[in-house]
Chains A and B, each alone.
Chain A
Amino acid sequence: MFTLNDYRIFGLNIKSKIVLPEAYEIHGIISEFDVEIELNPPLEDCQDQFTTDNYQFDNGRFLFHVPETAFYSITSGTQITITPYPGADEAKIRLFLLGTCMGVLLMQRGILPLHGSAVVIDGKVYAIVGESGAGKSTLAAAFVRVGYPLMTDDVIAVSLSNDSAAATVYPSYPQQKLWEESIEQLGLLSHNYSSIYQRINKYAVPIRSQFCREPLPLAGVVELIKASEPEPSLKAYNRLEGLHVLNVHTYRNSLLHLLNLQQWQFQSIARLASGLPVYQLRRPADGFSAFNLVDQIVSLTNKKEVVIS
C-alpha cells in the first residue's frame, strides 16, 4: 500500500500513496501535480470529533468519516489525506476516495460534479442523470455495447468556461459498476468481473477499450426516469426545469451547504442551464429497453444537427 503512483483522473495529475487500479497511470515524468493523496498509518479510533455527523468542515478542510473504513480530509482541492481503520478493506477505502472525496475535491476546485454517466456521441458528451435505480449505468453500458465511448459512470466533472455557457467534461476512470441483472441483460458474463466490496450482486466492469480519455464539450443532459407507461418517451425540458434537474443531480449536493458553496453551485448550474439542452427520458419499469433508449438519444442528436444546418 505504501508505493507511490501517478494517475490522471478528471484531467488532474494526481500523486497517490495508495494504489488505484481503477485509474489511468501517468507514464513519464510529471513535474507538477494538481493533487496529492496522502496515507496516514492506521488509527484505532478518532471518532470523537464526529459527534453528530460523518461530515465536518473546519478551517478550509473537509473531514469525512466512514465507519470501520477510514477518515478522509480534503483540503483546498489539492490534497486528500486518508487515515484508515486497522484492517479496513482497500476496495472500500477506494470506493469513498474515488466517489465522495473526489466529488468534494472537484467542488473545491470550482469544477461542477454531476451524478451520473457520460457517453460520447460524435465527439460530444451527453450526461445521463437520474435517481438511484433509474438505470443510468445500464443505459451507459448499452451505449458501450453498441460502440459509443464512455467518459464516466459515477461522477461527471463539468468545467465551465468563465466567459460563455460552454462546458467541458473531463474523463474519470474506466470502470463501470453494474448489477448482475444488467450484466446478464447486456449479454455479459458476471463471473468475468469482480464484485464490488459488500455489494454482492454489483460488479466492477473495466472498460478501457471503450473509454474516452480526452476532455470534450458537454452537448446535453438526459434525465432518465423509471415510469409506469409501457413505451419510452422523450421530451425537452424548459430552462427552469433544466435548472432544477441540474440542481437535483449535482453530485453530493447535500454537502454544498457545509462547504459554503451553495451560491457558487447555483450560479454554475444557472450558467449551464442557460445554453444546455436538458431532456427527460421516461423508460418503462418492466421489460428491458436499454438498446431502444440508446436509439432514442442518438436520434435526438441527429435531429438537432439537422435543425442547425
Chain B
Amino acid sequence: MSVDIITANELVVQSDGYLVSEMNGEKIMLSIENGKYYNLGQLGGRVWELMASPVSIQDMVKQLVTEYEIEPGACEQQVRTFLQQLKSEGLIQVRKE
C-alpha cells in the first residue's frame, strides 16, 4: 500500500462504478467491476456523501465538526486514515485543485 498523503491543495471525489445503498444505517457499496462489497459504516458513509463532488479535506473536516462531537485535529486525522483506505481500494480519486 502506498503512503500517499493527500495535500492541502488536493481535492477528493467518489469514484464511479459503485452501487450504493444503506443497511441498518450503514453505507454499503458494491463494485460493479469486481463484485466486491464494502461497508463504510455510519460515519464513513457520511464522509462518502461529502465527496459526491470534489472537496478538500479541510472543508470536509469543517463540515464534520459541526455534525459530530469531535476536535478538528482528531477529526482530520481519522478522515485522512479513512481516505487512505478508500484510495487504496480505488473508491475515491484525488485531484489537484
Contact of B24 among A244, A247, A263, A274 (CB under 8 A): A274
B24 to A243, Cβ gap below 8 A? Answer: no
Residues of B within 8 A of A274 (CB): 22-24
Question: Would you list which residues of chain B between 5 and 34 have a CB under 8 Å from chain A?
Answer: 19-24, 28, 30, 32
Any chain B CB within 8 A of the CB of A273?
A: yes
Q: Number of B interface residues at 8 Å Cβ cutoff, please give it.
A: 11
Measured CA separation A266–B31 after assembly (Å): 11
Residue of A nearest to B27 (CB): A270
The 10 A-B residue pairs whose C-beta atoms are closest, nearest first, are A270-B21, A266-B19, A274-B23, A267-B21, A270-B23, A274-B24, A266-B21, A263-B19, A240-B37, A262-B19
B22 to A270, Cβ gap below 8 A? Answer: yes
Which residues from chain A sit less than 8 Å from chain B, CB to CB?
239-240, 243-244, 247, 262-263, 266-267, 270-271, 273-274
Which residues from chain B sit less than 8 Å from chain A, CB to CB?
19-24, 28, 30, 32, 37, 39
* Main secondary structure on A side of the interface with B: helix
Measured CA separation A138–B20 after assembly (Å): 36
Residue of B nearest to A270 (CB): B21
Residues of A within 8 A of B20 (CB): 263, 266
Min CB gap A272→B, angstroms: 9
Measured CA separation A262–B37 after assembly (Å): 14
B30 to A247, Cβ gap below 8 A? Answer: yes
Please indicate which of the listed interface residues A243, A263, A270, A273 has the most CB atoms of chain B within 10 Å of its own CB.
A270
Residues of A within 8 A of B23 (CB): 239-240, 243, 270-271, 273-274
Q: A262-B19, A273-B23, A274-B22 are in contact. List 16 more A-B contacts (CB 8 A).
A: A240-B23, A240-B28, A240-B37, A240-B39, A243-B37, A244-B37, A247-B30, A263-B20, A266-B19, A266-B20, A266-B30, A267-B21, A270-B21, A270-B22, A270-B28, A271-B23
Residues of B within 8 A of A270 (CB): 21-23, 28
A-B contact pairs, 27 of them (CB 8 A): A239-B23, A239-B24, A240-B23, A240-B37, A240-B39, A243-B23, A243-B28, A243-B37, A244-B37, A247-B30, A262-B19, A262-B32, A263-B19, A263-B20, A266-B19, A266-B20, A266-B21, A266-B30, A267-B21, A270-B21, A270-B22, A270-B23, A270-B28, A271-B23, A273-B23, A274-B23, A274-B24
Residues of A within 8 A of B32 (CB): 262
Measured CA separation A65–B22 after assembly (Å): 36
